[in-house]
Amino acid sequence: MAGTGLRIGQGYDVHRLVEGRRLILGGVDIPWEKGLLGHSDADVLIHAIMDALLGAAGLGDIGKAFPDNDPALENISSVVLLDRTMALLNEAGYRVVNVDATIVAQRPKLAPYLPAMRALLARHMGVAEGCVNVKATTEEHLGFTGDGSGMAAQAVALLEQMEKGWQK
């Protein structure tokens, strides 16, 4: 069934790096001396992608959909939040065309983990791996990402609005 229109969205997120937390990026556990601090598992990459998806669909943002003062969401896996975001998108009649994202972090080296993130994200967004791209960059020791006090992520998402009943 033909789509009825394309919609673009962007997302941006930041979390502080602290000792005593797991580092989870794109749903992948990464061995590291610090992890990201947040109400959920603080997966900064998935949060940026969710904001891009919600933005493209005109559904507000992650804070509106999943309030960070909701006790039910404490330490929740962001993969679960991504699944719930996809359910909202499906309900509104959107499917993902493609997503491109960048993690900004000085350390650790993330290149070895990017293929696993890509595969996991594609599976949960219901698209082929070729429709998801995850990159990582440093900021050359500048600013809060450069001095290791936090990580940031940016994402853009393209959605296609489908005719009613496209899934049936």
Q: Is the Cβ of residue 13 or residue 28 nearer to Mg ion in the bound state?
A: 13
**Which of 7-15, 21-29, 96-104, 136-144 is the region at the interface with Mg ion (rule: CB under 5 A)?**
7-15
Q: How many other CB atoms sit within 10 Å of the CB of residue 129?
A: 13
* Residues listed for the chain: 168
Q: d(Cα 114, Cα 123) in Å, to the nearest integer? A: 14
Nearest to 39 by CA among 65, 68, 4, 5: 68
Binding mask 12-31 for Mg ion (x = CB under 5 A): -x------------------
Q: What tokens appear for 98 in the block?
A: 């493609």
Number of amino acids touching Mg ion (CB under 5 A): 2
What's the closest the beta carbon of residue 85 comes to Mg ion, in angstroms? 13
- Residue 47 binding Mg ion, by CB under 5 A: yes
List interacting residues with Mg ion (CB under 5 A).
13, 47
